Amino acid sequence: MNLPHEALKDPSRSGRRAGATACTTSPGTRLLIVDDEAEGRKLLAVMLAQAGMSCTTATNGAEALRILQREPVDAVIADLNMPRVSGLELLVQVRQFYPQQIFLMATGVDDVRVGMQAMREGADDYLVKPLAADMIVTSLERAFHKRQLEQEVTNYRQHLEEMVSARTLQLQNALARIERGYADTLDVLGAAIDLRDSQTGEHSRRVFLYSIEMLNALNGTPKQLKSLAMGARLHDIGKLAIPDAILFKPGPLTSEERKIMETHVQIGYDMVKRIAFLADAAEIILAHHERWNGSGHPQGLKGTDIPLAARIFAVADTVDAMTSDRPYHSALPFQAARIEIERNAGILFDSQVADVFLGIPNETWQAIRKPTSAIEISGVLAGISIENSCAAAALLGK
């Protein structure tokens, strides 16, 4: 016989029995026999003691529950018909408080319906009187075996969940490292673009920060913020293909030269569009010279046909062009840029975006543009600082 299963016991149930009748002190399976009829109770206890089991008896359901509270029991054998608390009522309470408890129902009625009802209430088996030791032992072994299998399934499921959880974490870390690698690469590319066009200094870095600030104020999603960050940082990547004579020409461009200069949009788009994780950024690169009234290039898009990120970028780009030293003009104060954006709201710029820009104080814009090597696109792509209402300020460590 292989009955007791320590792993199945409820650890909260411990202690020594007090006042209960032990029919044997020999180690073995601990049974609780519940029967209001003294003769049947005693007979069963003697019979099972002879089979090597340790028996405790109770005369009714209430006493049985008190015993279960005090001491661990491997299995309960309860009579179905008892006064006050019936076997079924006892079963319901045992299932509520000790769901893993083995419970056999004994009945004097050989009625399938009674047995089915007991099983429905959670009994592991039902036994028909007169009871025989081998019948009880077989039933108990079956019940313990079933519990053991259930426990093994539970253990396996828990282990599986832990494994899945650990693997998920590993994958998330790996993805974060890959994304960080992308971000670092983009930072280097952005810096290379700024170096090439040294006259505009850290232009791409500043417009990236301005754009993030505005999209954040518009409650942009993390995905939108990342796309805009990448698009803004790389918006002029196509200028790498523009001849120096045109790119660095101090005076106004001829109409032919302007046409060549404008090709940087399409060149940049073609360079980036093949890279899957830059697909959204490529759209921003393509549309970064479009204007709200359709006067931009290369497609002459109008209004909301222009991607939101590109509409935001247009404001950021204009503000930075006005407030930075250029070969053809000295930096203007932020107030001048504010007037220009307000004047062209609904004409060149999306009014909603213009309002967002105008709603942010000049001091914030001044703080964002301060040179600091600590602010990079990788911070945004890594998900840092973009959940706060003032992303750029957070990026600045404020």
Told to check if 320 binds Fe ion by CB under 5 A, we report: no
- Interacting positions 178-197 with Fe ion (CB under 5 A): none
Among residues 327 and 361, whose Cβ is nearest to Fe ion? Answer: 327
Told to check if 236 binds Fe ion by CB under 5 A, we report: yes
**Residue 327 Cβ vs Fe ion, minimum distance, rounded to whole Å:** 16
The edge-to-edge listing of strands for the beta sheet with 21-22 is 21-22, 54-58, 30-34, 75-79, 102-107, 125-128
**In the complex, which residue's CB is closest to Fe ion?**
236
> In sequence order, which residues have a C-beta less than 8 Å from that of residue 43 and are 6 or more positions away?
none
Among residues 80 and 316, whose Cβ is nearest to Fe ion? Answer: 316
Among residues 103 and 269, whose Cβ is nearest to Fe ion? Answer: 269
> In sequence order, which residues have a C-beta less than 8 Å from that of residue 218 and are 6 or more positions away?
308, 312, 352, 353, 356
- 252/198 Cα distance (integer angstroms): 18
- 198/192 Cα distance (integer angstroms): 10
Among residues 300 and 383, whose Cβ is nearest to Fe ion? Answer: 300
Among residues 72 and 190, whose Cβ is nearest to Fe ion? Answer: 190
- Interacting positions 87-106 with Fe ion (CB under 5 A): none
* Total residues in contact with Fe ion, by rule CB under 5 A: 1
Select from 5-13, 231-239, 278-286, 368-376 the region that touches Fe ion (CB under 5 A): 231-239
DSSP at 105: E
C-beta separation of 4 from 26 below 8 A:
no
**Residue 387 Cβ vs Fe ion, minimum distance, rounded to whole Å:** 30
Select from 218-226, 230-238, 290-298, 351-359 the region that touches Fe ion (CB under 5 A): 230-238
**Residue 259 Cβ vs Fe ion, minimum distance, rounded to whole Å:** 14
Closest listed residue to residue 385, CA positions, set 205, 200, 216: 216
| Unique residue bearing structure tokens 């007791």 | 4
Q: How many residues does the chain have?
A: 398
**Residue 310 Cβ vs Fe ion, minimum distance, rounded to whole Å:** 11
Q: List interacting residues with Fe ion (CB under 5 A).
A: 236
